[in-house]
């Protein structure tokens, strides 16, 4: 359940905001008062999300823009456009952009492995780096950077060697960033970095999965159902807020108990 006003002083950028978990995150952050920048490779999808957002409580308009997280130049342009519009860097960043190109290890093409790593892992690095650089340059004393990993990055999954590897790397990037951005040498940046690990979540990405496979998935989940994108967004909103002010370097599982223990 949203907490109105909890994020009223925040400017947030959400990559992958055009659908699925990213869209749900945009809606949740906006409902709690944040000004939201919806970034997605598909600009039309980003604009669809923009239309669904509640009015900004501070009177600032939300923003939608195209961005390719796998391109350093595109990410740089994204941050430049945000600061030109709002005269400040985003204090909240949720990197939800991601792709899957599934196949078995024995059959996977090198190009499909590279594409997934480029978007999911390199994209997370580029976005975290760019937002952190902007925050430090502005003299900001706090910020919340949130990456969307996956439980698959922790336990692996048949047919997803590229996805599992990329999401395991996202956790590594996040934990290292957490150590560097909380305190580096004699500097104290106070920027928190955390990773959210969704399990089997109902999104457009799972819409093509056969029903019999979905049923098998549900049987593995102690809570007995697929998760909702809004439930992942709930955790992201918490991590973005001061309610999580003493949490950094953490990986929070949103799995319904899948693979616990």
Instruction: Give domain limits for the chain.
Output: 11-254
pLDDT band of residue 189 (cuts 50, 70, 90) is confident
Is the pLDDT assigned to residue 55 strictly greater than 80? no
Is the pLDDT assigned to residue 56 strictly greater than 90? no
* pLDDT per position as a tens digit, 65-101: 999 999 999 999 999 999 999 999 999 999 999 999 9
The pLDDT of residue 134: 97
**HEC-encoded secondary structure of the chain:** CCCCCCCCCCEEEEECCCCHHHHHHHHHHHHCCCEEEEEECCHHHHHHHHHCCCCCCCCCCCEEEECCCCCHHHHHHHHHHHHHHHCCCCCEEEECCCCCCCECCCCCCHHHHHHHHHHHHHHHHHHHHHHHHHHHHHCCCCEEEEEECCCHHHHCCCCEHHHHHHHHHHHHHHHHHHHHHHCECCECCCEEEEEEEECCEECCCCCCCCHHHHHHHHHHCCCCCCEEHHHHHHHHHHHHCHHHCCCCCCEEEECCCCCCC
Enter the CATH code of domain 11-254: 3.40.50.720
User: pTM of the predicted model, to two decimals?
Assistant: 0.95
Mean pLDDT of 157-184: 95
pLDDT band of residue 7 (cuts 50, 70, 90) is very high
User: What is the pLDDT of the chain when averaged over all its residues?
Assistant: 93
Catalytic residue status for 163: yes
- In the set 113, 125, 163, 200, the catalytic residue is 163
């Amino acid at each position: 359940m949203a907490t109105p006003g909890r994020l009223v002083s925040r400017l947030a950028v959400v990559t992958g905001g055009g659908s699925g978990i990213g869209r749900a995150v945009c809606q949740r952050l906006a409902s709690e008062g944040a000004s939201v920048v919806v970034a997605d490779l598909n600009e039309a999808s980003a604009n669809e999300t923009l239309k669904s957002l509640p009015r900004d409580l501070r009177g600032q308009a939300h923003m939608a823009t195209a961005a390719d997280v796998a391109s350093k130049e595109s990410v740089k342009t994204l941050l430049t456009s945000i600061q030109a519009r709002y005269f400040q860097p985003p204090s909240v960043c949720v990197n939800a952009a991601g792709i899957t190109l599934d196949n078995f290890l024995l059959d996977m093409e090198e190009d499909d492995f590279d594409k997934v790593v480029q978007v999911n892992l390199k994209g997370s690095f580029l976005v975290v780096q760019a937002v952190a650089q902007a925050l430090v340059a502005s003299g900001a004393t706090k910020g919340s950077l949130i990456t969307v990993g996956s439980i698959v990055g922790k336990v692996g999954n048949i047919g997803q060697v590229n996805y599992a590897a990329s999401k395991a790397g996202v956790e590594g990037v996040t934990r290292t960033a957490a150590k560097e951005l909380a305190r580096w040498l004699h500097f104290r940046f106070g920027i928190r970095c955390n990773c959210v690990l969704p399990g089997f979540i109902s999104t457009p990405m799972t819409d093509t999965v056969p029903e019999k496979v979905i049923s098998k998935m549900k049987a593995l989940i102690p809570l007995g159902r697929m998760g909702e994108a809004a439930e992942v967004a709930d955790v992201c909103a918490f991590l973005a807020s001061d309610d999580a002010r003493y949490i950094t370097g953490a990986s929070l599982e949103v799995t319904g108990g899948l693979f616990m223990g």
